[in-house]
């Protein structure tokens, strides 16, 4: 017989029906049709064709749907942050609707000292508290001893705000 004629469109399974139903390993020796278990038990050894599963299109559709949702959410976040920034900027600067709108960058660059929430003197006290009393609890935050609060504010504003937030725990109202 020709090898191509015996081959079907889908491959045969690795396990015969009897072994699959018994949930045991199906072991065939090379060249023998019945597996060792079916030969030993005298059962008929039948191999079925495997079913091919293809989930590629479903995954692609799910990924596209998720990407669409992420893009919508990002657009919503950007739009709302621009709206909030414009409203907040006009309120803090005293602009009216007829006045010129400040750019969003100038509002974002303001920190707690520029907004008047803290003075630089209080920030220096908090910074000193962090350097003297809290450095041992934050060994991953390395601030050289010669750096001042004003330098940290200019060079690393996020770290400056984090230091102020962590060292102001004693000044928080209950």
pLDDT at 3 over 50: no
Reported as a single tens digit per residue, the pLDDT across 68-109 is 898 888 888 888 877 765 545 444 444 444 444 444 444 456
DSSP annotation string for 63-125: HHHHHHHHHHHHHHHHHHHHHHHHHHHHHHHT--TTSPPPPHHHHHT--TTTTTSS-HHHHHH
Q: What's the pTM value of the predicted model, to 2 decimals?
A: 0.38
- Residue 54 pLDDT greater than 70, yes or no: no
Rounded mean pLDDT of the chain? 77
Contacts of 53 (CB under 8 A, 6+ apart): none
For the record, the structure tokens of 60 come out as 């692609």
- Taking only the tens place, the pLDDT of each residue in 17-30 is 999 999 999 988 87
């Amino acid at each position: 017989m020709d090898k191509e004629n015996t081959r079907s469109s889908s491959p045969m399974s690795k396990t015969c029906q009897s072994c699959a139903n018994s949930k045991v390993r199906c072991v065939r020796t090379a060249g023998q049709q019945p597996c060792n278990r079916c030969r030993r038990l005298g059962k008929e050894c039948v191999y079925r064709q495997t079913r091919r599963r293809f989930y590629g299109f479903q995954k692609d559709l799910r990924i596209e749907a998720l990407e669409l949702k992420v893009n919508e959410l990002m657009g919503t976040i950007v739009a709302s942050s621009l709206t909030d920034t414009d409203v907040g900027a006009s309120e803090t600067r005293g602009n009216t609707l007829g006045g010129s709108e400040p750019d969003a960058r100038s509002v974002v660059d303001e920190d707690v000292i520029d907004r008047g929430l803290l003075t630089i003197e209080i920030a220096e006290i908090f910074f000193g508290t962090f350097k003297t009393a809290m450095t041992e609890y934050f060994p991953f935050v390395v601030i050289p001893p010669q750096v001042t609060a004003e330098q940290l504010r200019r060079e690393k504003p996020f770290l400056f705000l984090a230091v102020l937030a962590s060292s102001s725990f004693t000044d928080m109202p209950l």
